[in-house]
Structure 1
Amino acid sequence: MTHADDAITQPVLWYFEGTFEADEKKIRRAFHEDAMIVGFFDGKYTQWTLDEFVERVLSRPSQKQSGEPYVKRILALEQKENIAFVQAYAPAFGHEFTDFISLINTTTGWKIRHKQFTNAKASMCSS
């Protein structure tokens, strides 16, 4: 990765660490204040503001406290000028999440503006 890629991925790493450790400061540093977190959990549509997401993360023992291994990782990165997209693998509490993360380059640096997620198993589309 290049130095520019590092600047883009840093908020994703803060998100990974913040959710793994239940660290509110890292989560808030990663996300734009108006971020939305939306997706499907066991097939049910879910939507949270950043505040609701943080509350959910802090409402239970952290993954770290629960003894889970840290295996979150970035799978893909694409960037065009001041916008970027990251695909991530972010397992938590026995669920294997795929995240599609949109980032923007703000006056204070790169921030996660939107996170979509699913814990559905990948399937092949047939035509």
Structure 2
Amino acid sequence: MRKTWAIVRRELIAYFSSPLAYVVLAAFLLMQGYIFYLLVSFLNNPQTPAMTPLRLFFGGTIFFWLFLLFVVPVITMRLIAEERRSGTIEVLLTSPVTEAQVVVGKFAAAMLFYIAL
């Protein structure tokens, strides 16, 4: 378990030391700000049907789901590709960790980054 957490920690440091994390975070926050603006404008309009703001708040908008469709691959595509590019995949796979620990550690780091969004 300790080895898996070491991989998670290393991946989270790698996420936040690259500009990709900040670009994804900024785009996500801008999109959420726009959705909040839509929600407030619907709530201020007295002619809006009663269920529209609730549907917007709980179901999200098409912008949220389309953005999510692109964010998850952007977050996860660099996990193994970055190891290959930097040449550390051989070191990682020959270290005393199992492949399952590597996969779980990288998955947990991606999931924690997504939760942080």
Is TM > 0.5 for Structure 1 vs Structure 2? no
* Higher RCO (CA < 8 A, seq sep 6+): 2
- TM-score of the aligned structures, taking structure 1 as reference length: 0.25
The TM-score normalised by the length of structure 2 is: 0.26
Higher relative helix content: 2
